[in-house]
Amino acid sequence: MHLPVLKKEVIDYLDPKPGEIFIDCTVGEGGHACAILEKIGPEGKLLGIDRDPEILENLKKRISDKRMVLARGNFADLKEIAEDAGFENISGILLDLGFCTWHIEESKKGFSFLKDEVLDMRYCPGEGITAKDILNSWEAGEIERILKLYGEERFARIISERIIEARKRKEIKSTFELARIIEGAVPSWYRKGKINCATKTFQALRICVNEELENLEKALPQTISLLGKGGRMAVISFHSLEDRIVKRFFIAQARKEAPLIRILTKKPVAAQKEEARENPRARSAKLRAAVKIS
């Protein structure tokens, strides 16, 4: 079952009130969206955006609420999507940068090294390159670069070299094949660590395939332009690269000669111990929030 991370903290910082208008930029399975809908009453509205059409279809089947408008799209195009849906003067915007439990458990797109699936990793089917394309056609240096940049993988060079060697024998098609290559490339002590040795490589491929960091950098300025004065934004990140982008953006906007926002979270907010125990995904989650002041 999908458990929305930091749900209480999201509500506390966004502070939704009856009649207000909100946008959930990554609506997913609707956990945060439903919590917001409870607060905004019969006159409030929420726009839920997601790149994956199957996610949206599943959500429509589970939740029938006229106050929630669903739109398929990339939050990098946030302003255009909101304007097309007739949403303006927004009271609050949420960006949850994690992927859904559904993507791991049911999508069959190769997001997890624990399931034997085709290496796709695209949130939006038919759009862009797949993880399999990268592994079987990119040069060793390019693969090493993304493993270092997006996965912060210390053994990026040897893993990329082993990938090149393996694909000369046969095309790398499945998650299990890739996981075995990684296991054979890294030292035994690394294989026995608390974090699976394939975690960072899979993260790097997913981020690269979906252009996650580039899309975040495009979306953040659009949130400010859409928010009304006093409107709030909250961003949940799951690794240091995302958090760094959000932190730098908030600081830049708050330190302008005419500041656009006031930062509400001096430090990123982490999950309480109880939530971290119940929901392992919450352990790496960090929340930053700000309010528009001009």
The DSSP H or E segment spanning 46 is strand 45-50
Flag whether pLDDT at 122 surpasses 60. yes
Share of the chain above pLDDT 70, in %: 99
Q: Is 6 exposed, middle or buried (0-12, 13-18, 19+ CB in 10 A)?
A: buried
Percent of the chain residues topping a pLDDT of 90: 84
Q: Average pLDDT for residues 114-138, to the nearest whole number?
A: 94
Cα–Cα distance measured from residue 167 to residue 173, given in angstroms and rounded to the nearest whole number: 10
Quote the pLDDT of residue 99: 78
For 22, the enclosing helix (H) or strand (E) is strand 21-24
Confidence (pLDDT) at 2:
64
Calpha distance 6→9 (Å, rounded): 5
Q: What is the pLDDT of residues 172-203, one digit of tens each?
A: 999 999 999 999 999 999 999 889 999 999 99
**What are the φ/ψ torsions at residue 93 (nearest 5 degrees)?**
-130, 135
In order of their start, the domains of the chain are 7-102+212-292 (3.40.50.150), 108-210 (1.10.150.170)
> So what's the pLDDT on residue 35?
95
pLDDT in tens, 196-236: 999 999 999 999 999 999 999 999 999 999 999 999 999 99
User: What local confidence, expressed as pLDDT, does residue 245 receive?
Assistant: 97
> Which pLDDT tens digit goes with each residue over 238-280?
999 999 999 999 999 999 999 999 999 999 999 999 998 888 8
Q: What is the pLDDT of residue 127?
A: 84
pLDDT of residue 183: 97
For the cut 70, the answer to whether the pLDDT of residue 133 exceeds it is: yes
Rg (CA), the chain: 20
**Which tops the pLDDT comparison, 25 or 124?**
25
Task: Say yes or no to pLDDT of 1 above 80.
Answer: no
User: What mean pLDDT value characterizes the chain?
Assistant: 94
